[in-house]
Amino acid sequence: MKMFAVFGNPIKHSKSPIIHQLFAQQTGVLQNYRKIYVPINNFYKKFFYFFKNGGIGANITIPFKKRAYKLCDILTKRAKYSGVVNTIKILNSKKILGDNTDGVGLLKDLQNLKFINTKSNILLIGAGGAAQGIIYPLIKFGCNITIINRTYQNTKKIIKFFKNIKNINSLKEEDLFSISNKFKYNLIINATSSSIKGNIPNIPSSIIKPDVFCYDLFYNFNNTPFLKWCIIHGAKRISDGIGMLIEQAAYSFYLWHGIMPNTKIIIKKYKKYN
């Protein structure tokens, strides 16, 4: 049976194996997809071990997406433009193909939810692999993005990477607090991993308004800590990242098998499981 895996740290919370099982059932594709916990300094060792022992594709998650980008022989256009890789496929030539399906998956979910339009002014919280991976498709769609992150140094690295792209800028956390009344965002995206440990990013509550869409890339059985905080401060339209997870997984599945699963059915089914 064809072997696939998701590599990450932490990885226990990942729902990717369930999603891929549902895709396999729906399409009749036989595949074995599992979670692999990777100690922080062991990514390359674990990665090559898996592929030397029959693995033919993988998803890469927190915090290894930038490292995965570096070891690819060939990149899809969207991986090249984002600088991070969340999907790997071993080609017949044994070359490593890297793709990024996070951005296109998020955009599809935001469109399904009607959370976005081509003029959306977005506050993107976070500057890790997921944040970097979603910027290019959102800018290409027409949106403006302001990045804010706990460590400003990491924000600067992203801004440097996208230096040739317009409509992207950054703020220090303290600047957003001191002049928050000046800013009006249509959509606030939490792309930090803060929710995993029950924390919330440091942003002023004054930017949350009833007409602002609030989206957390993280997903949970209940609302994530960030989404609970948004509701307390007046948000009416919120979503966690389960839809994105399913959409990005579908693009990975398509890269591996050439078949696009019906995501609408899976999203409905998955939400019922919860």
Ligand X SMILES: NC(=O)c1ccc[n+]([C@@H]2O[C@H](COP(=O)([O-])OP(=O)(O)OC[C@H]3O[C@@H](n4cnc5c(N)ncnc54)[C@H](OP(=O)(O)O)[C@@H]3O)[C@@H](O)[C@H]2O)c1
Question: Residue 18, interface with ligand X (CB under 6 A)?
Answer: no
x/- map, 95-124, ligand X, by CB under 6 A: -------x----------------------
x/- map, 59-98, ligand X, by CB under 6 A: --xxx-x---------------------------------
β-pairing, 237-239 vs 213-216, is: parallel
Q: How many whole angstroms separate alpha carbon 15 and alpha carbon 18?
A: 6
Which residues make beta-bridge pairs with 168?
A: 145
Q: Is 65 a catalytic residue?
A: yes
As measured in angstroms, the least distance from the Cβ of 131 to ligand X is 6
x/- map, 21-60, ligand X, by CB under 6 A: ----------------------------------------
Which residue type, as a one-letter code, is found at position 191?
A: A
Helices (H), 37-113: 43-52, 65-70, 77-82, 102-113
Q: Taking contact as CB under 6 A, which single stretch among the options 51-59, 115-123, 181-189, 244-252 is the one that binds ligand X?
A: 244-252
Q: Of 95 and 172, which has the nearer Cβ to ligand X?
A: 172
Question: Residue 217, interface with ligand X (CB under 6 A)?
Answer: yes
Contact criterion met (CB below 8 Å) for 215 and 115: yes
Q: Taking contact as CB under 6 A, which single stretch among the options 41-49, 193-201, 250-258, 265-273 is the one that binds ligand X?
A: 193-201
Tokens found for residue 115 = 């959370």
β-pairing, 213-216 vs 55-60, is: unpaired
Greatest Cα pair distance, the chain, in angstroms, is 57
Q: Which residues are annotated as catalytic?
A: 65
